Amino acid sequence: MSVIEFIEGPLWSFALAVFVLGIAWRIFSLLAMKRPRDLSVAREGAGGVGGATKALVIHSIPHGGNLGRTIYHFVTGYMFHIGLFVLVLFAAPHVAFIQERLIGADIGWPEMPRWAFIVAAEAAFAGLILLYVHRLTDPVKKQLTDIDDHLGVWLTFIVMLTGCLALQEAHAGLRAFHMLTVEALMIYFPFSRLMHAFTFAFARARTGATYGRRGFTP
């Protein structure tokens, strides 16, 4: 078995298993922890479900007059996240991969035109670099930052970089190198703050449910 075959075969299966099982375990553990029952009486016409739903939505955008204060994160954060999602899900090579390797059938998964995912890549790179440079220089963020933050950014950056280096889709070696970095990211994912891709929903819903009953979802 060649190195490329190993990366694209067994190593991929292993990384996928760690990724899926790790995430499942994290979510299961969180849900299995005890949480106190709220014995207060909800305000008339207000409820936890509505609050949770509202929190899930409104925390995607700055609200409460805070747009000006958080505009840097808002713009760069969305550049990165939207760019990354578009790349991961709709770039032509990814679509082919998803259909062949993950689904096993051509289900007509939509694919972006090349120019669109190039634009997405530009946005994602600019967003990630700007966020990271801010992390290294902003006095508030510097204090919060730990090794996990650095590793997460670097791994994501390297994955994106190797992906863009393989854009010509002409060399199996470049594709395998990209796959290798993706696998490293997937194995690291469940153990890291990258889990926020899933945990964000639990935090938002928790706050929304608590405060929604009170009549205002912050």
Burial code (b: 16+ CB inside 10 Å, e: under 16) for 74-95 equals: eebeebbbebbebbbbbbeebb
Residue position matching structure tokens 């996928």: 16
Q: Which is nearer to other proteins, 3 or 165 (CB)?
A: 165
Confirm or reject binding of residue 114 to other proteins (CB under 8 A): no
Confirm or reject binding of residue 116 to other proteins (CB under 8 A): no
Confirm or reject binding of residue 43 to other proteins (CB under 8 A): yes
Confirm or reject binding of residue 199 to other proteins (CB under 8 A): yes
* Contact of 23 with 190, CB cutoff 8 Å: yes
Confirm or reject binding of residue 65 to other proteins (CB under 8 A): yes
* Residues 81-110 interacting with other proteins (rule: CB under 8 A): none
Distance, CA of 49 to CA of 53 (rounded, Å): 6
DSSP 151-217: HHHHHHHHHHHHHHHTTT---HHHHHHHHHHHHHHHHHGGGSGGGHHHHHHHHHHHHHHHHHTTT--
Binding piece for other proteins, criterion CB under 8 A, among 1-9, 90-98, 99-107, 206-214 = 206-214
Q: Which of 1, 34, 107, 110 binds other proteins (CB under 8 A)?
A: 34
Here's the x/- map for other proteins, 153-192, by CB under 8 A: it reads as --------x--xxxxx-xx-xx---------------xx-
Confirm or reject binding of residue 47 to other proteins (CB under 8 A): no
* Contact of 123 with 80, CB cutoff 8 Å: yes
For residue 103, the minimal CB distance to other proteins (Å) is 27
Of the candidates 94, 90, 89, which has an alpha carbon nearest to the alpha carbon of residue 113?
Answer: 90
* Residues 122-151 interacting with other proteins (rule: CB under 8 A): 122, 125-126, 129-130, 133-146, 149
Q: Which is nearer to other proteins, 67 or 103 (CB)?
A: 67
Confirm or reject binding of residue 33 to other proteins (CB under 8 A): yes
Confirm or reject binding of residue 62 to other proteins (CB under 8 A): yes
Distance, CA of 46 to CA of 211 (rounded, Å): 9
The CB density around residue 173, as the number of other CB atoms within 10 Å, is: 11
Confirm or reject binding of residue 16 to other proteins (CB under 8 A): no
